[in-house]
Structure formats: C-alpha cells, structure tokens
Structure 1
Amino acid sequence: MSENGPTFATDPRHAQVARELYAAARGLPLISPHGHVDPRVLADDEPFPDPARLLIVPDHYVTRMLLSQGIPPDRLGVPRRDGGPVETDGRAIWRLLAGNWHLFRGTPSRLWLERTFQTVFGVETPLSRDTADEVYDAIAARLAEPGFRPRALFERFGIEVLATTESPTDDLAQHAKLAADGWGGPGGRVISTFRPDNVVDLDRADWHDNIGVLGDLAGEDTATYAGYLTALRRRREAFIAAGATSSDHGHPTARTAKLSGEEAAAIYERGLRGEATAADAETFRAHMLLEFARMSIDDGLVMQLHPGAVRDHNGKLHAAHGQDVGGDIPQATDYVHALRPLLDAYGMDARLRVVVYTLDEHTFSRELAPLAGGYPALYLGAPWWFLDTPDAMRRFREAVTDAAGFYNTAGFVDDTRAFCSIPVRHDISRRVDAAYLASLVVQDRLPMDEAAQTLADLAYHLPKRIFRLDKAVT
C-alpha cells in the first residue's frame, strides 16, 4: 500500500505526526476477522471477471447511490430473482458509472474505488466520462495477469487471516477445498464464521426448510427444540473444525431475553406449525442470543452482534433483486436495556467475548462505550456499514475513548464482499486512527512512543487477540 494518501489532519504539525505514526503501522499484516468475501473466489483461484463485474455489480454502496438517481440495478448488471434480463456488457456498465461519477463526490465509495484503482491496479488516471474506456482497459489488462488472481493478490495485500461468513446450512465444501490446499482449517489463512440467522429468525419464509437442512447436516432431529439445540452445537463443531473462531448474529434489535426451556420450546413448536407471531420471533431471537452465549463459553467462539438494520426496507428492490443489494436502512437501537439479560447472566465471565457493532452512532458515547467500560466480556466493534467512513471512524474514536479507552475496542473489520477493497479499507482505518492519535500527541496528551504502540495494537494486535486468531484463549 502506498505511503501517499490522505492524512485526515487539520494542520501541518498534526499531519507530520500522523504520517510518522502511519508509517510505523503501514506494513503490519491485515487481520480481517469479519467479512463476506465468497470463499469460492479463493478456493477456485480463477481470474477475476471484467472490471465492472468485479468492482461495480456486487457493490451495493455503488448501485444504491445510482438507484437513488433513477438508474435501476438491471442497467448495472445486478442479477434479478426471476432470472430476467440485465445488462451483461461490462464496458457499458462501466461507462454508466463513469458518466455519473459526480454523484460520488465526497463519499467513501469514491475514496475506496479511487484508492483501489491507484494502489491495487496502478491506475492513476482520474475516472470520468471521457476516460471511462482508458481506465476500464487498464484494469482489465491487469486482471489478465497471473499476479492478479485471487491468491496472488491475497499474498500481495499482506492478509494474514481472512474470515468469511457462512450459515449452519452451508456444507462448508469451499472451506474443505481451501484446507486441502493448505489455506484453511484451524490456524489457516481463510476461515469461516458461524452465522445462524437463517435458522434462528422465525420470520424468514425459508426458516422451516432451513431447519430441515440443519438437521440433515448435523445428523440430528430438529423436530424438537432439544434436537435443534444439539444440531446447532454440532454445526458449531464443524465450523470450528473449518477454522472458525467467531459467530455472527445480525438481528433487527439487540434485545436479549432469558426464557425457560419450556417457554423456548413452545415458541419453537409454534414456528414449526407456522403459527409463530412477530412477537414470538423477536422473543425467540432474543432468547437464542443467551443460548449462543452459553455455547460460546463452552466452545470458545467469539460472539459478534450486528443489530439495527431494517432489512429490505425497499420492498420493490428486494422483490426484483433479493437480499444484500442496498435495500437495508438503519434504525435507532437500544443497548442498555436490550443487552442487560445477557450481561447479567454472562457479562462478568472472562471466558465470553461479545463484540458489539452499531448503525446508530448516537449510542457510542451514551450506551456502548460505558457498557464496554463496565463488563469484561464486552468489546466495541468498528463503525459498521454506513459508518465505515473516515469522518465516522474519527467520530467513533472521539465518542468512545473517554469511557472505553482503546483496549475495549476490537480493531477494524472491513465487512465487505469486495475482495480488492480490503487493503484500501484497512489502510483508511489506519490513517484515520493515526490522525486521531496524532491529535493527542500534538496536544501533549500522549507520548509519541505510546501513540505508535496504540496504533499497532488497534491495527493488528487487538483484533488478533480478541477474535482468538492467535489461538491463545485467555
């Protein structure tokens, strides 16, 4: 990654200290403990497709901005649920983006893409309507080179560990292939993450079918609640064998609840009969977070909690193109009351680690930082999704450091499907943290040597330790 780039500093002295701090952390390996890269990309190690299919079609940050200006996803090559026709000419898709590049002024999407063009592909020509073909051809030429295949880029990016995300109904075949090639398994470079939402959320139309697949893969009878819990434990064992060190839970809210076994079984049975209400679904999700915390204490998986997204708010977009295409919207989220049942039960247990993320940045200083500063089991995750921007990263540090310090935070997670953006996102995070720490140095609030060590910890050592990627469970 190039040393040149934004300093996110406000004056020359601040900028100089930020550059010195950043230079000390720039070469550290990348730890990517939470993300959504398709493991098939690395398992198959096939050349990437054309620039548009690599950088535009799967990037819902890009496609949602264009949709907001009346450009439908069909014209950008986003597949339709009904298999209907969409644009397949990569150059036409690229020209459409370039012709509307002004829409991205000041956005993180522009920053990430421009830095990707420059630092990954070595393309310095600014994108515009007039240069669209020039930039497209330069990137396409790079993609044809052996050094730009996925595993070669993985090495060049300096990624030490990359975690993908799969559900309990995934047979983990891609991870088995990676392990056979020496890339996966415990201590491997590519590992899985256990995300059970599709077998926990009774509101899902496919929940009942998923429960059947869960039982088949686990070899357990999921027609009973007891069998369901056993099946989940069996699948967690399979994920741990595939290298997983964490689970991930993307619930609508952060609510947790402690039910008796009989109460939980009654809701589960209503779900099997198709009689569960929305209230049942919310209560069951809340209860299962406590169950998963108990399982984590037993098997060591770090829990990640991603609440607060109203999924598929844009119903027409979801109907046409499905999930994860830019139709989700943040909502206000309570943590103080919602997490209390879980923290009452397990918050003081040093064997448990819960990393909490938020889309509601108003909660950083009011709720999350004090909670992380008061419970050994709780850590703050990086700003997530709409908040993983330079300004929001800075606001995060300003909001949480007073109450939680640096060492109750869990480091940066790129949370991306866009493989080629991973080094750029980590680089931006390191630059922002360097600028924040530099502000403390120039105010004589932190010595330079301590600031440098803190930056190294935030960038590398903390995520490696907290996500148990060093295999040292403490």
Structure 2
Amino acid sequence: MSEHPRWTLDPDRALPAEPTRRAIAREIHGRTADLPIVSMHGHVDAGTLARDEAFGDAAELFVIPDHYLLRMLVSQGVPHHELGIPPRDGGPVQHDRREIWRRFCEHWRAFRGTPTRYWLEHELVEVFGVSRAPSAATADLLYDELLETLARPEFRIRALFERFGIEVLGTTDSATSALADHATLRRDGWGDRVVPTFRPDVLFHPDGAGWRAAIDELSAASGVEVGDQAGFLEALRERRRYFVAAGARATDHGHRTPDTTPLPAEEAQRLFAAALRGPLGVREAEAYAAHMLFESARMSLEDGLVMQLHPGVVRDHSAQVAGRYGSDLGFDIPRGVEFTRALRPLLDAVGHDPRFRLILFTVDETAYSRELAPLAGAYPSVLLGAPWWFLDAPGGLARFRELTTETAGFYNTSGFVDDTRAFASIPARHDLARRIDAGYLAKLVAEHRLGLDEAIETAIDLTVTLPRAAYARPGDGG
C-alpha cells in the first residue's frame, strides 16, 4: 500500500476563482504576504508571553480556548464539560486531553465552509506541519505529532511571535489591572511589542452584579477615593495615565448599544450614588453607560488614547450555559444596532477635533453602507474597524469592502484586527484578510477602475500603514 500523501494547502486558497482576477490577486497578495502583522485588538493573555510558555498539547492549544470552535462543537451536541470546560457546580469534566482532541477530530466536517476551518488548516499545516487532515481515524496520529512538535523550543510562544512576524500585539486588560505581565515584558525588552488596552466596561454598567466590587478595585488601584461621580472620573483618568505609561495605544468598549447621550452632572451623580446603594435598573444603567462613553471620548482628548467601540452583542445568550459553566463560552449572539443617532452627541462634541480618533466595529453588517461608511466618510475622527466576530470570514470580509469602499474609501478604515484568544491563529486570520483584500483590489484592476500599482500600494497600506497610523502612540499623531 502506498504511503498517504502529506497534507498540503493550495497556494491560491481564498483568491478569486475567475482566472484573470486570480492572476492579479496573486501578484497583489505576493506583495503583502510577508509584511509584518500589526495586531492591535485581541485577547491573547500577556502572561503567557511574559512567562514564555509552551503549548502543552493539541486540546490546550486548539480546542479549549477557541470560542468559535467550542460553539460549533456544542451546536453538534458535544457538551462543554466533554471539551474540558468544568461545570461550576463541580460536576464531571473531561480531563483527558487526547479524548477532547478526538471529539474535535470526529466533528471536523462540521467546520466545512467556515472561517474556523480555514484558520485551523493554516495553523495545522503552515505553522505546525501536521501530516494529515483531522478525522476520527487520524486523531491519535495528529495528537502525537503535535505533542512532539509543541515540546520543541522553537514552538514556545515568544519564538512563534518572532516567526509570525508580529510587529506589535495589543492585549485587552481590565481597567484595574496592575499590568504586572506587561512590566515583565518591558523588562525583557518587549515593551513596544506587546501593549495593553484599557477596557473599563464593567465599571460603566452599574446594573452588573460585580459593579460595586469593581469600584472598590478601581479605588485601590488608582489611589483615589471613589465615593462620588467626580472621584470616579478622577480615578479613571489616573488609571488611563497608568496605561499610557505602560505603552497603551487604545481604550476598548464593548457596550450593548453605541448610545453616547451625556447626562447633566447632577443626574450622573444621582445615578452613581444610587448604584452605590444597589444595582440600577436596566434603563438607568443604559443611560449611565451612554454618559460614560461620552466622558471617555473627552478623556481621549486629554491623553490621546484611540477609542474603540464595538456594540451590539447579547452576551451569554444561554442562561443555562452561563449558569452551569460561566461566561464567554460561545453564546454571545449579535443583535441589530443603530449608530447614526446614537453617536451624534459624541461626534457633535469631538468629531472634528484632530486629537480624537474613534474606531467603530460592528457585528450588524446591515449598518455598513447605511450608517458606518457615511459616518467614516464624513467625520475626520471616525475610522471603520475591520469585520469582526462572526464577520471575519471570507464572505464577511468581501462584503465589507463591497459595502463600504464606495462611500468611505480605503483610507477611512483602520486595517485588520484578529480579535483572538487563540494565539496560533493570528497569522491565519491576517493571511485570510490579505487574500480577500487582494481579491477585491484585483476586481478593481480587472475592471480598469484602479491601476495595478495603486492596488499594490493600497494593499500594503491596508496591511501595515493604516493600522500603524490608527493606533499611533499617544502624542505621535495619526
């Protein structure tokens, strides 16, 4: 019997099928494929880089931390505890990592046509060099191959960081974090390569069960007594200064809506005082969160942090899953979002100020051409963030260009962000975005709407120039 051929990937994957466009897209992609990765929005744990950790096994690397992968397996009837996620009540959980990997491989066909499939193929073949595609029959072979590979020093996380060509990586950090891991990275000479991002969401939503404890943490971390709204604002400013000193470039806001309606000072104080006594109702909490987005924009004028806003997700849609296993396990579901009226108070106040930058993300692609592209195409402070979460797929990335370019152009966008916790998927996600952009630009060239030299220049700008400018260090300008 002949040996099974080694698994390889087609070099033209995700490029246009039409021959003329494909040839142009190949040339454009060839000019961006090896450019550095500017990864400014994501959720890689800075501690794994500070400790230069090794990835222990295939389940730990691919299955357990990846929400995309978990949610698909759960949708196919595999419960979380069989994938290594422990129930909160101490119930049984699968600890055998090989068995977790087997469950994933048995369901490989469920990922057909998904971006997860593309990313996983890139990781398995291009990064880790496995010999066969996943299946029930190959699960143990691949597990053993990966176990041997991951034990080698060149597959520790810092070595992979260098190999991936990551220029800078933005993490997402609680507003009260001491940033100890970032301090370690700075001591090791990585301070300009791994930078924190200020995430204050829990502090802005006083209907949350953890809000009061978070306020106490803020007071302790900032050294400011937080007994009223004025103290709260000063504590936030102090923490933002701390983040800027640690290398932060941006803030990050994952609100339920993009409402930015400011409150009179006395009303903000009243709501804050009421929240100290007990959780606010939903309507009052939403009004307070909107006010704090407005205040955050004004703070960005002071310290230069770019403001990222990505509203419109119902978090932990399944109360059963959240109650049994906890939060952030694949049950965050998109909802429709209105931006035009919601952002008007903020943009009226600071939208023309050259000190301010606002990057808008959405999971509601119906807003692209109707609202977001016109906003970015008019306000000098507004940039469109890349297709993100549920939309960072070949079709979603292509639709983004089709729906926004004619109104906002390319140069009112901020470049691709991967928004991932799965470190090894970073080059795969950026590669897919570069291929889709190459295909879109190839269409413009083939239709004689853009010269090839302009298309190549634009592709390079989308890859490195625009994200560098969008996330410039405070004080460096855009």
Give the alignment's TM-score, normalised by structure 2.
Answer: 0.96
* Alpha-carbon distance in structure 1 between the residues aligned to 2:265 and 2:66: 42
Sort the Cα spacing of 1:408 and 1:318 in 2 relative to 1 into closer, same or farther, 3 A.
Answer: same
Within a 5 Å distance, the mapping from 1:7-406 to structure 2 comes to 7-184=14-191, 188-274=192-278, 276-406=280-410
Which residue number corresponds to residue 433 of structure 1? 437
Secondary structure at 2:342's aligned position in 1? coil
Q: CA deviation at 1:45?
A: 0.6
Q: CA deviation at 1:82?
A: 3.7
* Alpha-carbon distance in structure 2 between the residues aligned to 1:275 and 1:357: 29
Q: Structure 1 stretches (4+) deviating beyond 6 angstroms? A: none
* Alpha-carbon distance in structure 1 between the residues aligned to 2:269 and 2:73: 46
Q: Deviations over 1:409-463 (max 9, x none)?
A: 1100000000000011000000000000001001111000000000000011100
* Alpha-carbon distance in structure 1 between the residues aligned to 2:198 and 2:12: 36
* Alpha-carbon distance in structure 1 between the residues aligned to 2:86 and 2:179: 24
* Alpha-carbon distance in structure 1 between the residues aligned to 2:310 and 2:325: 23
Give the CA RMSD over aligned residues: 1.4
Question: Are 1:467 and 2:474 matched, yes or no?
Answer: no
Q: Deviations over 1:330-378 (max 9, x none)?
A: 0000001111111111111111000000010000001100011010111
* Alpha-carbon distance in structure 1 between the residues aligned to 2:320 and 2:231: 37
- The amino acid across from 2:159 in the alignment is A
Secondary structure at 1:337's aligned position in 2? helix
Question: Are 1:455 and 2:462 matched, yes or no?
Answer: no
Secondary structure at 1:130's aligned position in 2? coil
* Alpha-carbon distance in structure 2 between the residues aligned to 1:270 and 1:366: 38
* Alpha-carbon distance in structure 1 between the residues aligned to 2:17 and 2:26: 13
Sort the Cα spacing of 1:237 and 1:83 in 2 relative to 1 into closer, same or farther, 3 A.
Answer: farther
Q: CA deviation at 1:163?
A: 0.5
Sort the Cα spacing of 1:203 and 1:470 in 2 relative to 1 into closer, same or farther, 3 A.
Answer: closer
* Alpha-carbon distance in structure 1 between the residues aligned to 2:90 and 2:303: 42
* Alpha-carbon distance in structure 1 between the residues aligned to 2:378 and 2:182: 37
- The amino acid across from 1:176 in the alignment is A
Q: CA deviation at 1:401?
A: 0.2
* Alpha-carbon distance in structure 2 between the residues aligned to 1:181 and 1:163: 17
* Alpha-carbon distance in structure 2 between the residues aligned to 1:277 and 1:116: 45
* Alpha-carbon distance in structure 2 between the residues aligned to 1:308 and 1:290: 17
* Alpha-carbon distance in structure 1 between the residues aligned to 2:438 and 2:111: 25
* Alpha-carbon distance in structure 2 between the residues aligned to 1:344 and 1:470: 23
Q: Is the 8 A contact 2:14 2:394 kept in 1?
A: no
Q: Is the 8 A contact 1:382 1:412 kept in 2?
A: yes
Sort the Cα spacing of 1:53 and 1:3 in 2 relative to 1 into closer, same or farther, 3 A.
Answer: same
Identity %: 52
* Alpha-carbon distance in structure 2 between the residues aligned to 1:233 and 1:29: 33
Which residue number corresponds to residue 414 of structure 2? 410
* Alpha-carbon distance in structure 2 between the residues aligned to 1:79 and 1:436: 44
- The amino acid across from 2:410 in the alignment is F
* Alpha-carbon distance in structure 2 between the residues aligned to 1:79 and 1:447: 55
Sort the Cα spacing of 1:92 and 1:471 in 2 relative to 1 into closer, same or farther, 3 A.
Answer: farther
Sort the Cα spacing of 1:244 and 1:467 in 2 relative to 1 into closer, same or farther, 3 A.
Answer: same
Give the alignment's TM-score, normalised by structure 1.
Answer: 0.97
Q: CA deviation at 1:470?
A: 9.3
Secondary structure at 1:304's aligned position in 2? strand
- The amino acid across from 2:195 in the alignment is I
Which residue number corresponds to residue 6 of structure 2? none
Q: CA deviation at 1:5?
A: 4.4
- The amino acid across from 1:295 in the alignment is M
Q: CA deviation at 1:80?
A: 3.0
Q: CA deviation at 1:146?
A: 0.3
- The amino acid across from 1:305 in the alignment is L
Q: Is the 8 A contact 1:7 1:18 kept in 2?
A: no
* Alpha-carbon distance in structure 1 between the residues aligned to 2:130 and 2:137: 15
Aligned length: 471
Q: Deviations over 1:379-427 (max 9, x none)?
A: 1001110000011000000000010000001100000000000011000
